[in-house]
Amino acid sequence: MEGLRVTRGLSIRNIGLSMLMMISILAVIGCSKDVAVDPDQPTVQVGETTLVIGAYSVAKDALTEILPQFQQEWEQKTGQIVKFQESYEASGTQARAIAGGFEADVTLLAMEGDIDKLIRANLLDASWKNKPESGMVSRSIVVLGTREGNPLGIQDFTDLTKPGVKVVYPNPKTSGGAQWDINAIYGAGLKFSEEQGKKDPELAKQFLEQVHHNIESLDKSGRSSMAAFEYGVGDVIVTYENELRARIAKGVKYDIVVPRDTILIENPAAVVSKYADKHGTREVAEAFVAYLWSEDAQRIFAKHGFRSVNEVIYNENKSEFPIPEGLFDIEYLGGWEHVRETIYSKRGVWYQVLAGL
């Protein structure tokens, strides 16, 4: 009888195991027939993830609106909640921080030259430019900001050389925005020299020296210079057009003077691939950077005074963004590598201007 009980117990267990195996097989067959994988849908796991953003200070206001919009769209698409850790610094400072170990998954910087620092640090690949608009997510130009009513009658960069005119711009050693400012002034000097017969770097350097002679404040970032100017420092600020437009939109009384010859600013964004791969955030990081070219994000950039890289959005705001007669880009100065060597190296033009050489 004992043997019979044991045999019956084993039989019951065997039947139960067989039933479980059959149910599992049917479930697998059912899944393989009915569930298709959509290759276009993200494959992220549901839950939470954190994306670390390291950006230049001027982008902060626009990103404050863009981040929650992306967060909502991503959750609707994938079910995953994205949280953000944000850092805003002068572009050069931010690039050095990331190169030095600040593990940002995504960076938005003031200029391509600062992205190059991250490439040299082996944090991302040169392929970052294989994106829409060669990786640039916003544009602007260098302009002059004056007190309301333009009391000194400032019309162009040449007016910044006049005796008694107090000029404000940030330090190009720490600020990408400042490098755009210095490039604009130096480039305007090159344009003036061309009118006299040839493109002459020495005359451009002399023109930069004359402007810098009237410097009143040399701050660490474009945002810091804007704060100093708003506090009452200086008569004229050399800055991004979008910075002034953003302040005017908030009720601050400034006049914008667009120089005849000035530079086109282009601001890049990129996934810092080494850190994103380390954190397992590569997919959401790539999706966020791609979102920056969307019409929704570009409208926010335009709202905050940037010139949109999206043709549709730019045309919607075209009347607000006149194109200066002598607008030039970084290639007019020889490209970023040449600019670093000739203007910002240890013996370059900027060093000579500061040293009075």
pLDDT tens per residue across span 283-308: 999 999 999 999 999 999 999 999 99
Nearest to residue 87, comparing CAs of 68, 59, 115?
Answer: 59
What is each CA distance from 337 to 27, 45, 334, in whole angstroms? 60, 41, 8
- On the question of pLDDT at 204 being above 60, the answer is yes
Q: Tell whether the model's pLDDT for residue 6 goes beyond 80.
A: no
Least confident of 73-82, 100-109, 255-264, 309-318: 309-318
Residues with Cβ within 8 Å of residue 314, at least 6 apart in sequence: 302, 307, 308, 321
Structure tokens that stand for 165 in this block: 């005119």
Q: What is the C-alpha to C-alpha distance for residues 68 and 288, in angstroms, rounded to an integer?
A: 11
Residue identified by tokens 């210079």 is 225
Residue 352 has pLDDT above 80, yes or no: yes
Tell me what pLDDT residue 177 has: 76
- pLDDT given for residue 355 in this prediction: 86
- According to the per-residue pLDDT averaged within each range, which of 5-14, 37-46, 142-151 is highest? 142-151
Strand 80-89 to 47-56 pairing: parallel
Cβ burial of 69 (10 Å; 0-12, 13-18, 19+) is middle
Coil/strand/helix, residue 323? coil
Q: Is the separation of the CB atoms in 93 and 174 below 8 Å? A: yes
Taking a C-beta distance cutoff of 8 angstroms, is the pair 182, 172 a contact?
Answer: yes
* 15-29, 202-216, 328-342, range with the lowest pLDDT: 15-29
Helix or strand or coil: residue 52? strand
Q: What is the DSSP string of 154-180?
A: --SGGGGGSTT--EE---TTT-HHHHH
> Which of 162-166, 262-266, 344-348 is the least confident region?
344-348
In this prediction, residues 309-334 reach a mean pLDDT of 93
Residue 262 tokens read as: 């000035």
H/E stretch holding 236? strand 236-240
Rounded distance between C-alpha atoms, residue 338 and residue 179, angstroms = 13
Q: What is the pLDDT of residue 207?
A: 97
pLDDT attached to residue 322:
86
Higher pLDDT among residues 35 and 353, named by residue: 353
Q: Report, as an integer, the average pLDDT of 159-181.
A: 91
% of the chain surpassing 90 pLDDT: 74
* Structure confidence at residue 174 (pLDDT): 80
Give the pLDDT of residue 357.
62
Which candidate, 129, 113, 127, 118, places its Cα nearest to that of 54?
118
Q: How confident is the model at residue 335 (pLDDT cuts 50, 70, 90)?
A: very high
Nearest to 167 by CA among 101, 210, 123, 216: 216
Which residues are registered as beta bridge partners of 23? none
Question: With 60 as the cut, is the pLDDT of residue 279 above it?
Answer: yes
pLDDT of residue 178: 87
Higher pLDDT, 26 or 311: 311
Question: Checking DSSP bridges between strand 254-257 and strand 106-108, what pairing results, if any?
Answer: unpaired
Cβ partners under 8 Å of residue 262, min gap 6? 141, 142, 143, 157, 184, 187, 188, 324, 326, 327, 328
83-98: per-residue pLDDT in tens? 999 999 988 899 999 9
Across the chain, what does the average pLDDT equal?
87
Choice between 107 and 249, residue whose per-residue pLDDT is larger: 107
User: Does residue 20 carry a pLDDT above 50?
Assistant: no
Residues in the chain: 357
| pLDDT of the residue at 14 | 42
